[in-house]
Structure 1
Amino acid sequence: MARTAQKISLARQLPLFLLIWGIASLLMWVPAVMALVQNDHDVSRSFFYSGIVGLTVVTMISLAMQGRRSRRGTLGQLLALMATFALLPLFLAVPFHDALRTTSFLNAYFDMVSAITTTGANLFTEPGRLAPSLHLWRALVAWMGGLVMWISAAAILAPLSLGGFEVTARGQPGRAVPGAAQSERADPRGRLLRICRTLAPVYLGLTAVVCVLLLIAGEAELTAICHAMSILATSGISPVGGIAGSTSGITGEAILFLFMFFALSRLTFSSDTATSGYARLDQDPEFRIGVAIVIGLPLLLFVRHWLAAFEVDAVESFEFALRSLWGSMFTVLSYLTTTGFVSADWEEARQWSGLGNPGLILLGLALIGGGVATTAGGVKLLRVYALYLNGYREMEKLVHPSSVDSGDKGNRRIRRDGAFIAWIFFMLFAISLAVVSALLAAFGLSFDQALVLSIATLSTTGPLIDMSGEISIRLVELNGWAKLIMCLAMVVGRLETLAIIALITPDLWRN
């Protein structure tokens, strides 16, 4: 007990960025061991030595900073979170670049930013180009990035009313919630460690369950591990090019489909940030909207498929029709949660109906995104719900100008201030989309390509790049400036614009 207390005390003294850096250094030994078992000694040495160097640097900096206490509070942790997504990939790319040896360091950095932000943009389109340990490293980095978001949502974003919590919170975005300010200033690191001890075992356990179920379904070991980590992190990273290269069939898809629901609402795995009135999953507006989209949109596509199939005289068996419906449901949920996996039956559904590439549908789903405080990106379902309530109330007033709002207290808060803040976020997201698209177009990309890349990066849905157009975009052929702009967009999409604006506050930089 004394040693455990001493370790916790030491962890409270270290800056958050150093803690994450140290954990990333330890994780490098996982692909190192895998490469050693496979007699790939060059790759094993790259990860093993990089892990040792990382731990050495973290230890030296920790010793130099011993006895210092940060006075920046929760805002300082938000700054460390931004550094994790923007600066830590510089270190994560070192063993990847050294082990691959056939790409530039910029490409390695781009790939690590894509992984840790759970974007999953596929820079290396041929899975055979990467060694199995490199595939594992990409999935592992994305898995770590998802865990960081799980923990930071409750420990950092919620106290500051950011990341979607501003819609229901009483405090202003970027400032501590009234009534909790003293506790957060007194021990923000303690809150972070308590949430980490609570959620990390849940995250690890769910990943292990998915992996075991995929192995039982007949999936290969590496594919099962990578797909399990990708589903929990909503990164869409696969060592076999996606679901099409999987060996578990429709059983494996059903397993992945079930666990993608964890990205629709935080109440599926924790109630630590639940607001009054929405502590039950069946009453959670995010989960209900997500389920409605997952069921309603595929049914509309299914009916459209039947009509198109009759038009081209391509009506097939009832079993083929059900496979088409299943492919639509799986793909809709995958892109709504910004995972990016595509069902093996998705292409058959398109061919059966004679429809073209429904890229706009996938773009819209990725923009909506998943639930607040989950690993999903996008605008988030809670903000969509806030604007829906506000619009519904305005239509009521058009019909009955003297009507009184009869909604519950939580909905009245969302209709009033929540809808206003949600609309501000939509405007900031649209401005970010326009700026990133203009910058990408300035470096030689067409309007369609710039728009697709902007939506894919800001919504952290990398596989969208290959699915939204008739001709996929080869990221490796883009120039260096375009890749750097996309890296910046991925960081902005992961942290969100309001959080980055909150970092400009004078309270953070005063000392």
Structure 2
Amino acid sequence: MTGRLLTFPLILILTGISALVMFLPMIDALFRSDTSVARAFGYSGFLGLALVLVVGLAMSGRPRRDESDLQNLLSLFLAYLFLPVFLAFPLYEGLETTSFLNAYFEMLSCFTTTGATLFDKPGRLMDSLHLWRGLVGWFGGLLIWISASAVLAPLNLGGFEVTASAEPGQGDTRLDRFQRASSGKRLEQITMQLAPIYIGLTGILWIMLMIGGDRALVALIHAMSTMATSGISSVGGVQNGVSGVGGEVVIFLFLLFSLSRLTFSSDTVTTARPSILEDPEFRLGMVLVLGVPLLLFLRHWIASFDVDEVQNLGQGLRALWGSLFTVLSFLSTTGFQSADWVAAQQWSGLGTPGLILMGLSLVGGGVATTAGGVKLLRVFALYLNGRREMERLVHPSSVGRASAGSRRIRRKGAFIAWIFFMLFAISLALVTVVLSALGEDFERATVLAISALSTTGPLTTVAAEEPIRLLGMTEAAKLVFCAAMVLGRLETLAIIALFNPGLWRD
């Protein structure tokens, strides 16, 4: 039955799953005696299932054929564009005080794990609606986690192009080896492999946060947001939670999964290494996680001479922890802010510039994880290439000491990584210019563009001098921001691959 189900388009399967998930907030709303919200989710879920059933019956008579990798990529792109329309209906009907565009914006932000919210005013949303936001973000993280291996990896996209021998957007099938499994079979196998891990880790984190003192709903949303790196919260962030430093430590440990896929799997070319300590993504990520806070701590320590706070060791340690947690959170494009992040500024008397957080978000996490950004593997490829070029400046006739895989990353991988950087820079400049033309000043437009393209929504509240109220943006600016979120989640190379003539010739 599963094999027959996977013959249908991916967007139809995702719509059916979304309709089923709507019954969870409905049950929660019923327990809270909020009948209007329960009706909104119940009606939307039943209508969605009916629509999927009708479309499925209409397509059931066609000859069975497996979807190609490019067709799955197209379905994934269409899902990010149009599935939030369906997801927005219960939010729009349940809230009753917002426009449908705002509801679509919110759902697209959650589904792409961006986490930028229009409803930042406390008490604006009921708990059941917060649960829906968390669920959508969590399933969006699971989708991109599975799609990275089942859809993007076979096409050498999403960071896999750095280590692959084929061109981006094209498969690397070799006739002298075993035939690759069909896309449907591969999707089924990877889902069965990754979904239990994802669900299990979320459940463990949920229980640990509840032990730390958080309410069940708050702990669940923070657990789902951590695994999906979406930064969604029902209380304005983990700094407002009851679990305190203990909860932040637990979240910090689980955020390490976003630095490298080798933390839980070793079935891809990019992570075929014997130990996680030898994985370049994880090592580079830990250098940033430890190095940037130490530099900030040193800067704060020097500045503390002017405010006579050198002897306050306790506040200094709090400032160091706040920097560690916040740096990892923004490097993983989650965007949680430590409760001690402000203590670092108070300890030294200086404000920490948001430019550092924007830079970390642009770097992003590991390949085939839920994190967004440029990806650590591409940064590592450019580092290898730059180091080799500097060696050749000193010794032009030298021969590089590296394995075949490292040479491939340093040469072809660095070239493709540089192309991606240029495409990312062009996208960033284009989004910034368009937002500026729509009425946003340059600073706000830059923060908004980086926030959308790196899928780090909380940047809008911490990167600028004053928090950016997304609700006050014009409708045209919201639509541009939505397009940038889709572009940042799927990446420019993946969208360019959709122009492959083979996809449209079929």
Return the offset for 1:357: 3.7
Q: Of 3, 13, 19, which residue of structure 1 is paired with 2:13?
A: 19
Match of 1:103 in 2: 98
Match of 2:441 in 1: 446
Match of 1:349 in 2: 344
Runs of 5+ unmatched residues, structure 1: 1-6
The 5 Å alignment of 1:47-446 reads 47-68=41-62, 69-70=64-65, 72-179=67-174, 187-275=182-270, 278-446=273-441
**312-321 vs 287-296, greater mean Cα deviation:** 312-321
**479-488 vs 61-70, greater mean Cα deviation:** 61-70
The 5 Å alignment of 1:492-503 reads 492-503=487-498
C-alpha distance in 2 between matches for 1:17 and 1:141: 15
Runs of 5+ unmatched residues, structure 2: none
C-alpha distance in 1 between matches for 2:3 and 2:347: 61
Task: Tell me the alpha carbon deviations over residues 141-164 of structure 1, each in whole angstroms, 9 at most, x when there is no partner.
Answer: 000000001111111100000000
Return the offset for 1:186: 6.2
Task: Tell me the alpha carbon deviations over residues 17-68 of structure 1, each in whole angstroms, 9 at most, x when there is no partner.
Answer: 1111111110000100000000001000100110111111011101111143
**134-143 vs 307-316, greater mean Cα deviation:** 307-316
TM superposition score normalised by structure 2: 0.98
**12-21 vs 208-217, greater mean Cα deviation:** 12-21
Return the offset for 1:410: 1.2
C-alpha distance in 2 between matches for 1:276 and 1:33: 41
C-alpha distance in 2 between matches for 1:276 and 1:132: 40
Q: Of 33, 50, 53, which residue of structure 2 is paired with 1:39?
A: 33
AA at the equivalent of 2:3: S
Return the offset for 1:339: 0.2
Return the offset for 1:181: 11
Return the offset for 1:313: 2.3
TM superposition score normalised by structure 1: 0.97
Number of aligned pairs?
505
AA at the equivalent of 1:418: G
Contact kept in structure 1, 2:149 and 2:368, CA below 8 Å:
yes
Return the offset for 1:355: 1.5
Return the offset for 1:8: 1.3
SS of alignment partner, residue 128 of structure 1: coil
C-alpha distance in 1 between matches for 2:395 and 2:80: 49
Contact kept in structure 2, 1:357 and 1:470, CA below 8 Å:
no
RMSD: 1.4
Note closer, same or farther for the CA distance 1:14–1:390 as it changes in structure 2 (3 Å cut): same
Note closer, same or farther for the CA distance 1:145–1:184 as it changes in structure 2 (3 Å cut): farther
Contact kept in structure 1, 2:449 and 2:481, CA below 8 Å:
yes
Matched residues, percent identical? 58
Return the offset for 1:180: 7.7
Return the offset for 1:311: 2.2
C-alpha distance in 1 between matches for 2:49 and 2:206: 29
Return the offset for 1:277: 5.1
Return the offset for 1:70: 4.8
Contact kept in structure 2, 1:74 and 1:184, CA below 8 Å:
no
